[in-house]
Amino acid sequence: MDKRRVVVTGMGAITPVGNSVEEMWESIKTGKSGIGEITKVNKEDYPVSVAAEIKDFDPSDYMERKEARKMDPFVQYAMVASHMAVKDAGLEINEDNANRTGVWIGSGIGGMGTYESQFETFQKKGYRRVSPFFIPMMIPDMAAGQVSISLGAKGINSCTVTACASGANSIGDAFKVIQRGDADVMIAGGTEAPMNKMSFAGFASARALSLNEDPNTASRPFDKNRDGFVMGEGAGILILETLESAQKRGAKIYGELTGYGSTGDAYHITSPAPEGDGAQRAMKQALQDAGIEASSVDYLNAHGTSTELNDKFETYAAKTVFEEHANKLAISSTKSMTGHLLGAAGAVEAVISLKAINEGVLPPTINYETPDPECDLDYVPNEARYQEVNTVMSNSLGFGGHNATLIFQKFNQ
């Protein structure tokens, strides 16, 4: 049986570098960073002082204040980005298509801020003062649940929780739902709002975060002096649709999702497998799924966290998978500007990958100053490059040994 072709017809994003796809993309193209000093918790309590926070976001600009109060920020971000994407796609969800329109939005840690504040209330005032909305505000699937309710999408409704691969896995899983004929349209992506005390405490204690106090240079993927990731927040959403459905509606098409690979390291809870073994297999799987040769990939949007092992092993994985082509391949980590959005990272990077195809722009890796002999490929240092981009691979790797790879291609009739 021929696989159904799946295209992207709408996009939405709330990110540290802009609260719309256009604003975000302008920042990415010009190498503008969204990283600043931590303001959402008391930074004096931690060894880290910088983060990539969402700025100038008021949920009541997009929804009733009363409704917003019943949602953790990770749900608010997903709601706003999803409505943006549906509007961008010119998609009307009605009685005719609701049952064939699904939602699949991942989150790595869900409403940890809600958990934290409600636990403090419980400790001080007892269980009666805990909000009746506590559980539905906190659980990671509630972004997908609330989006489905607000848009009337009655198809498959799901959430993938695979740490920092959640957004990419959710898009890949939604892609497969459409390919196998279980839906015609999917609202898919990832969302995260980890700007709370316990998230900073946990990641700092695990020594995963950059201790660099300069916001401008703290996230420096593939640079020899990288010392950890910078935590970010936000959401990215794609409207995935069968080619037939998109053409019937006369929808604009940003690109085609052609390949998805998903593997497990079976190695360690936080450290990537040596030589990026799991990432290698996910990348090869995605290429096979797309039915293309490695040499046809123009750009790799790397996971590129700015941690010592990730960047080294991802580079090794790229060399193994792409062989000779690795030296010609443009690679960049947009986390140098957005920070690491955890479960939303892969989804926001999917939006960036599609913009790269549509505008013929290779996003830069900013803060690349000191080459690392173990990371010796073309990371598009510091400035964007303009060239035709037909095929993009995007990697997302998560704690627990989760690896996800997506392949987007320029739409060709």
The structure tokens 């949602």 sit at: 71
CA distance 78 to 257: 21
Could you say which DSSP state residue 5 is in? P
DSSP strand E in 121-254: where?
157-158, 185-192, 234-242
Q: Which two tokens stand for residue 149?
A: 């309710």
Instruction: Enumerate long-range contacts of 375-379, CB under 8 Å, 24 or more apart.
Output: 375/222, 375/224, 375/311, 375/312, 375/315, 376/315, 377/315, 377/318, 377/319, 377/326, 377/327, 377/329, 377/331, 378/327, 378/328, 378/329, 378/330, 378/331, 379/221, 379/222, 379/302, 379/331, 379/332, 379/333
CA distance 401 to 413: 37
Catalytic, 375? Answer no
The structure tokens 């303009």 sit at: 386
- Name 226's Cβ contacts closer than 8 Å, sequence gap at least 6: 210, 220, 306, 307, 308, 311, 372
The structure tokens 């939303």 sit at: 344
Q: Which two tokens stand for residue 217?
A: 């240079």
Q: Which two tokens stand for residue 226?
A: 């990288």
> Coil, strand or helix: which one is 124?
helix
Contact yes or no for 184/89 (Cβ under 8 A): no
CA distance 158 to 183: 13
Tell which residue, 168, 140, 206, has the closest CA to residue 393: 168
Q: Which two tokens stand for residue 237?
A: 């959403």
Tell which residue, 53, 22, 110, 24, has the closest CA to residue 234: 53
Burial environment of residue 43 by CB neighbours within 10 A (0 to 12, 13 to 18, 19 or more)? middle
- Alpha-carbon radius of gyration of the chain: 20
Tell which residue, 217, 212, 221, has the closest CA to residue 49: 212
* Catalytic one of 93, 164, 171, 246: 164
CA 147 to chain centre: 17
Q: Which residues are catalytic?
A: 164
